[in-house]
Amino acid sequence: MLLLNPLGTSLEIWDPYVATLEARYWVIRFDMRGHGRSGSSVGEFVIADLVSDAVAVLDALEVPRSHVLGDSMGAMVAAELAAAHHGRVDRLILGSCGVHLGSHTWWEETIARVSAGGLDAVASHLLEIFFSEPWREANGEALGRARAMLLETNVATYLAGAEMLKSATLAGISDQIRASTLLIAGEDDPVYEHYPVTDLLSMIPGSEAVNVGGARHRVLSQEHEVLAPLINEFFSDPDGK
């Protein structure tokens, strides 16, 4: 099982899932280029570059075919991986993903704020987008880890990712996905205001969706206790349903 991270995170974002998933699968996770231990010396990149990175990881580990789970930016990468490399993806889960990942205007504003003040300038706003207010109030330690992970991200890498996501779209490739696909969304995710998950659901043949009440954009992180068994069930079902 290959796990693909959101922008501004390291592979440790999957820590809450590892024990459950490793009971059944060989779990492969890595830091996206410019994140975590992958090093911070990166220039501009596009989704196809991150797809190539994911394929290179699978090749290096001699894994011909894998289930793939992507979250947010990682879901955009996972979708394009499944569309471009049918034979490499068994079943597919896309978390917090729409045809676009937020509006062009929102990304322009975020890029301007980060360029002027670094990630400190947007951290509190992003955490409000990521997690519901009741969860933030009840999970101060986990919220602190999420903030620290964001602030540890190289600013140039974050800006390169934001520029990429500003125009990234699944509109032209979603109908090329052949893997059995599950979409996981938070019902209160503000990122879907203009690009709801139902649009993507209608574009990926045979796909299904789970909407989690009370969750925002980081639904996979916020609701890992509920979603880890569901992910195992989807990947292990003979029909992928």
pLDDT tens string 198-225: 889 999 999 999 999 999 999 999 999 9
For residue 52, the model assigns a pLDDT of: 97
Kindly tell me the burial class for residue 162, based on how many C-beta atoms sit within 10 Å of its own C-beta (0-12, 13-18, 19 or more): buried
**CA-closest candidate to residue 96, choices 214, 166, 6, 213:** 6
For residue 240, the model assigns a pLDDT of: 53
Confidence of residue 123 (pLDDT cuts 50, 70, 90): very high
Helical ranges in the chain per DSSP H: 15-22, 47-60, 73-84, 104-117, 123-130, 133-138, 140-151, 155-167, 197-203, 219-222, 224-236
For residue 187, the model assigns a pLDDT of: 93
The answer to whether the beta carbons of residues 89 and 82 sit under 8 Å apart is: yes
For residue 39, the model assigns a pLDDT of: 79
| Count of CB atoms situated within 10 Å of the CB of 115 | 12
pLDDT tens digit sequence for 43-91 = 899 999 999 999 999 999 999 999 999 999 999 999 999 999 999 999 9
Its pTM stands at 0.96
**End-to-end Cα, the chain, rounded Å:** 17
Kindly tell me the burial class for residue 1, based on how many C-beta atoms sit within 10 Å of its own C-beta (0-12, 13-18, 19 or more): buried
Q: Which single residue is written with the structure tokens 């003040």?
A: 117
**Three-state DSSP class for residue 236:** helix
Tell me which amino acid residue 71 is. Answer: D
What CATH fold (topology level) applies to the domain 2-236? Rossmann fold (3.40.50)
**CA-closest candidate to residue 53, choices 36, 72, 21, 78:** 78
Q: What residue spans define the domains of the chain? A: 2-236
